Structure 1
Amino acid sequence: MSSEAREWVWEHSSSRGAARLVLLSIADRVADDQCISWASLSSLAKRTRASVSTVRDAIERLLMAGELEQLDDLVGPQRSTVYRLPQAAEAISNAQSEQQEDGNTAASGEPAAPVTLRLSALRRYGIRPREMPDSPAWGRKPAVPETGRSRRKPAQRRTGHRHGDVPATGTQNRSEPDLNRRYSSGGAAILPAAEWQIDPATHTWTRQQGHLDRLGEEGLRAADAKWRAHRAGHAPRPADGWAADWRSWVTREHTPSRPNIYAASGNTAAQGGMTRTEAHTAALLAALGEPTGTEG
């Protein structure tokens, strides 16, 4: 019957997003034509790859929409919560009635009779009546009726978090640093080059490799600006990928051009037929204020 329940969700459910995925996961465990299922918040979170809070909100929306009922008088395997898909159960019942050519009740338009759950059929799947405590502090409650009791309104949330292996919140992890993490929900950050910032490790690398001394602060800033301009149209990458690409760019960056020592010294000997070595020597001596041997 789980296949028929899943088909009803696919074809007739008005749920969307996470709520639809949660309803499909619950329908996947439907035992029989009563459309009874069981699941815990943590198991639904694992199956849907969502957080516990997201699953809890999805169940609340499904309960309010009437596509899901929570049977508080029953308990499933490992004390999991028991659910019922009432609209799917009604659709399956009508289909069976039509096959048996006995759909008078469904076609009469009269209010449907109260649902009677066959608890004896559910025990084979590990679903059983919930045991109520006998303590006076809790108070005695009447025996569980054969019909079961459904609850359409969501239960009040409890404080604390009892699901240690599943994220408690939606898509944020508060332990992550803000630097280079804007597009990250955990693990490596994915962001465009313009939003990548030079981290302390990369700044230390520029000093250790001598690029800061070679280019200077201004040269390093100029290289960074050119890198961002050339990478503006690239697809977002993890922060580590941008860091490696930035370091490769800085490594290839040329040292800023230096002033022309010949023009600064006012020496014109280099244009007088001197060899390249003689011109360099003359320029150096001119810069030091020593006689070059070419004075008039």
Structure 2
Amino acid sequence: MSIDRVGVAGGGTMGAGVAHRLLVNGIEVVLVERDDIEAANARERVIGGLERAHERGYLADEVEGVAGRLTVAGSLDAFAGLGFVIEAVPEQPELKRDLLGRIEPLLADNAVLATNTSSLSIDGIAASLQRPGRFCGMHFFNPVPASDLLEIVRGTASEPGAVEAARELGERLGLTTIEVDDAPGFATSRLGVALGLEAIRMVEDGVASAEDIDTAMRLGYKHPIGPLRLGDLVGLDVRLGIAEYLAAELGPRFEPPKLLRDMVAEGKLGKKSGEGFFSWE
């Protein structure tokens, strides 16, 4: 199996970030969106990220050379014959199952198919696949180009070879990999959401300001970023969706605070909307 050419399904924030990380590490990328218009938008997203990285000194190579390894398309047919595809569409189980089920027949029989999910059941998503042994989770972290970790998630049917291929790809991308079994929230989201929800409850209860809570965790516990600012970066709507899923699977300790529900309802989603627990103008 070659990992010199990798497909990415979905060109939003996460998909574009995964494509960026692959490109700067010498891997050809086939990035597919749902139509030609969205494919063009995804290309602009990736190229814009490469240009910013170059301007800031994080990318030594010329943008044109790196971008030359990128192919974008508005049809899944562009994945035909690939040996490795990473799905990176929104955290909606039905959407992921449908998309992966349509991608799988296009690939080589021994291809690895991976989902970039932060919490959803790998076994549940694999229900649409004919070859679930060649499927696993690859949880990338936002922003992908600057992250250090890849959480690889083994489904019940995931074959060791598929997991090993995911680990090898992660290491080629310069990421430290961890491997976990399929469980709600895996290791990272389960712990991260628990901390983030408690921080929101503290704001809701008037214990301290968002800034002071984050400062406490950064300086007192050496977290690189506070839980509330991290929630803003991830997206409070995304955090709410994960919390609702974990509450359904693991019980009321993950029940989203009213403040979180209210902020999402008001459109205060964090960085992407310009306002969350912090201002992102």
TM-score (norm. length: structure 2):
0.25
Which protein shows a greater Rg? 1
Higher helix fraction (1 or 2)? 2
TM-score (norm 1): 0.24
